[in-house]
Each structure stands twice: as C-alpha cells, then as structure tokens.
Copies of this chain bind each other. A is one copy, B any other.
Amino acid sequence: MAATPSAQYSLTLRVEIAHRPGMLGRVASAIGEAGGTIGAVDLVQVERDHTIRDITVETGDASDWPRLTEAVGAVSGARVLDTTDRTFSLHVGGKIEIRNKSPLKTRDDLSMAYTPGVARVCRAIHEDPDKAFQYTIKRNTVAVVSDGTAVLGLGDIGPRAAMPVMEGKAMLFKEFGGVDAFPICLDTRSVDDIVGVVRALAPAFGGVNLEDISAPRCFEIEDRLKASLDIPVFHDDQHGTAVVVLAALLNSLRLTGRVIGDLRIVVVGLGAAGVAVTRILLEAGARHIVCCDSHGAVSVDRADYLDGSMPSVKRSVAAVTNLERRSGAVVDVIEGADLLIGVSGADVVPASALARMNPEPIVFALANPDPEVSPEKALQYVRILATGRSDYPNQINNVLCFPGVFRGALDVRAGQITESMKTAAARAIAEIVGDAELREDYIIPSVFNREVAPAVAAAVAAEARASGTAEAGAELGFGSTEEFGAIPGR
C-alpha cells in the first residue's frame, strides 16, 4: 500500500529544461515511469536556451526519490537543480504563530493594551476571577497536552518529536472550530507531575485536550484533572474516537435498520480508544460487547482477573462486558458477531475470520496507517466497512469531533464534557449525512465537511445548557460587562 503516490511524500523538483520541442513531455514521462504522479508545474524562469520549472510530484515513499531524480536527470536536455521535500518544507519554523488581535502602533494603543490601562482590567479580574473568561484568552483557548509517549503509530517518541503532531492538532482546532489551541509537550512521564503541571497551567486556558499519552497513565491523568479543574478536560484519543465511532455506528444502524441493544459487538484492543469506545457503546444502549486485548477476550473468568493482576481499567471493562464470559482469541469470539471494532494494530484479524460473523456484518478497522484487516480483502465479507484512512470510504477521524466539541463547550463555558454531551456530538455528526445520501460507503461525513463542527458545537452547547453544565450567563458572550455601561462587541 505504501506505493500509492500521496501528498505526504511529495517532492518538488526544480528542473532546467532545454528549449527543444517535446522536452517537458519527455520529463513528464520519465517521472511517470519512475512511479511519480505530477501535480503542479510552475514556471520559475525563462532563459534564451532553457526554462527552469518547479515540478511537484507525489510519490509512494521517500525511497522513490533518488530513482525519480535520476530518471529526470537521465533525460537528455534536462537537469535537476534542486529538490524540496514539501512535507518537511511545510513544517519549517513550525505551523502556528501568535497574532495580535488589535494594533499596537501608538502610545494610546499601548496605554490601553498594556501599561498603565491594563491595570484596570487586572484589578477587575482580581476582584472577580470569573471575569478572566471575559477579558483574557481563557474564553477561547485550549491546551493540547502530550508527553509524547503514544504518538500516532510511532509510539513513545518523546515531547520534542511529538510537537509537529500537537501543532497540527492546534491547526485543526483553529481551522474547524475557531478555537485557539496551544501545544504543550511535557518533558516528564510521571502521572503526578503531568497532573501538577496541567493544574498549574489552567488559569490561562478554557479547556484541556489530552493527546497521545500512553495507557493506562492517560486514564488516571484524565480522571485526576477532571476532579480538580473547573474547565473541560478531554482525552481525545479516548473520547474523540469514541464519539466518531458512535456516529458511524448510529448511521450504520439507520442504514441497516438494526437496534444497538441487539447488536453482538467485538472490540479488538483495550487501550485508550478501546476502553472509551466500549463505554460510549454501553452508554448508548449496547448490551452484548466482548472486548479483546492481546491475550484474547477479557472476562471476569480470565486468570488475570481472578488473580488480581489485570489492570484496574480493564477490570472495570471486564465487569460490565462479556456477560456470557466467552473466552478465546479474536478469531474465536468473532463467531456470531454483528459488529467488529478494531482499535489495536495492523493485521491482527485475518480477513477470512470475517466469514464467521453474522450475515451482513459491520467492520470498523481503525488502526492507522495499517488497519486490523486489509480493506481490500475485508470488503467481500462485510456490508459496511470503515477505517481510519483517508484513502478508503468511511474515514473515522477525530477531526470530526474535537473542534466542535470544544467550540460548543467554550461557547457556553461548560465546566466539563459529560457523557451526554459526547452522545449529542455523535448524533450531530451522524445527522450530517442525510437520509438520501446514506449508503454503505457513506456513513460518516468527510473531515472537510464544514457543516460538521458548527453542528457538533450547537449540539454540545445545547446539551450542556439543558443539563446545567453550562455556566449561567456565559452565553451573553462578547459585550456583556458591568464595568461601566455596555461594551458593544468587537
């Protein structure tokens, strides 16, 4: 699969091409023969006997590049002057920046934004700390916190190497939710330290998005932060995934006319995502779930449960799932299942095992970049297939969830993101797909569907209001102040 040309491996070649008929065609052919797909072709310079062009080429892997460069160089009359790795180029200097929201050009600007005028604003917040939501970035700012221990499929790569992901996350927050997010990558793995640091940082932030922190530490960190902070704390790897899985499931049920309580479900993988998916499914009414970890089906009959060596998070899952106390590997418990949800690793389920599921089964194989079962092979066995990848239909991607969830929570100044707010988010995502559009290969909207985040935000805010999680008066929003008279919105 690595051979499919993709933008992530796109290379810009700066090529000097002699003025001879058919030269560009020959260069293009050489690129095609070397396995590259040409994107933009830009003219850089025209000289008397040659032109210089930037040719952007998507390839299947960076290992294709030397071959590609050689192939172009081998064309008589063409010379490669330079190559640019577009992905690395995009990351140079980082991907986000700070911008001032008002000018700072005159002494008057300075005396209002900074000294001496700022003292009046400080004093107002000191007298009523709640005003921090009115007069500081707190109202719209989320910390994206990671320790770099479970980054994408890369694992424990540390805080510095995790930064490009957290910056990317901040971009998504801004682009889709209008939320100002700042990446906080922590140079510590101690649960106590991480909890302490995030608690200390809280004054500047209106919410905390935990990200790529390895299990089981992520559970304790989230629980302790939720208990001690008055702003939402949301571990996206758990709840973002769970919300989007539920959204995809709701639409699968809608399409197939099934009922969640009747569904026989197997969850493969009991890390952060697996635990959260299991919980949201139970919350949504699922009754027959068997969860598997690397030792097979988890149950209260399993030896590590009985001898007390099973970690507490898994114990709590074991206690409320697998009521039939089934045992065995995934290929065993898959027998008779209607829905398989993979949140584990590449190729842990042989495609042939899907034949043992009930008729017209649903499979969400979400391991990234390589799913639990090959989509090409799985398709013959299943009615609905979803993955975490953008190059297959039905991409289950957290981007559908977190920008809208935080947008909604910040808008009503929710103190937390409750189970019912998550369920509301899942419903909102599912409802974006209209009845007329709903099909086996379209159960979930595209990550670029601009309707999703506002719909999720509205649903989350409404649920927070209805359940009393929103702060009274927070919805007055911009412009409400009692300092002196009214302050029209800016």
Contact = CB atoms under 8 A, between A and B. Distances in A.
Interface of A: 6-11, 62, 65, 69, 82-102, 104-126, 129, 132, 134-141, 151-154, 157-175, 180-188, 193-194, 196-197, 199-204, 368-369, 390, 447-448, 478-479, 481, 483-490
A161 B126 contact: yes
B85 A161 contact: no
Contacts of A187: 199-203
Given A83-B485, A122-B157, A152-B118, A140 B93 contact: yes
Contacts of A478: 92-93
A101 B96 contact: yes
Given A69-B485, A138-B163, 20 more contacts: A6-B117, A8-B116, A85-B483, A87-B117, A89-B490, A90-B102, A93-B101, A93-B134, A93-B139, A94-B101, A96-B98, A98-B99, A99-B174, A106-B448, A119-B154, A122-B154, A163-B203, A183-B204, A187-B200, A193-B196
Contact of A123 (B84, B93, B161): B161
Interface centre among A84, A122, A172 (most CB of B within 10 A): A122
B138 A112 contact: no
Given A186-B201, A197-B200, A390-B111, A490 B116 contact: no
Interface centre among A116, A187, A479 (most CB of B within 10 A): A116
A100 B486 contact: no
Contact of A137 (B9, B106, B163): B163
B89 A487 contact: yes
Contacts of A484: 11, 62, 65, 83, 85, 88
A118 B203 contact: no
Nearest to A156: B126
A165 B95 contact: no
Given A83-B484, A137-B167, A95 B113 contact: yes
A252 to B, nearest CB: 24
B158 A98 contact: no
Contact of A168 (B62, B86, B114, B194): B114
A466 B174 CA distance: 41
Nearest to A103: B175
Contacts of A204: 159, 163, 166, 183-185
A120 B161 CA distance: 10
A89 B135 CA distance: 8
Nearest to A139: B93
A136 B94 contact: yes
A115 B107 CA distance: 45
Nearest to A123: B154
Contacts of A97: 98-99, 101, 137, 140, 180
Interface centre among A65, A83, A110, A161 (most CB of B within 10 A): A161
Contacts of A100: 95-96, 171, 174-175
A101 B112 contact: no
Contacts of A121: 87-88, 91, 164
Contacts of A170: 98
B200 A135 contact: no
A481 B96 CA distance: 20
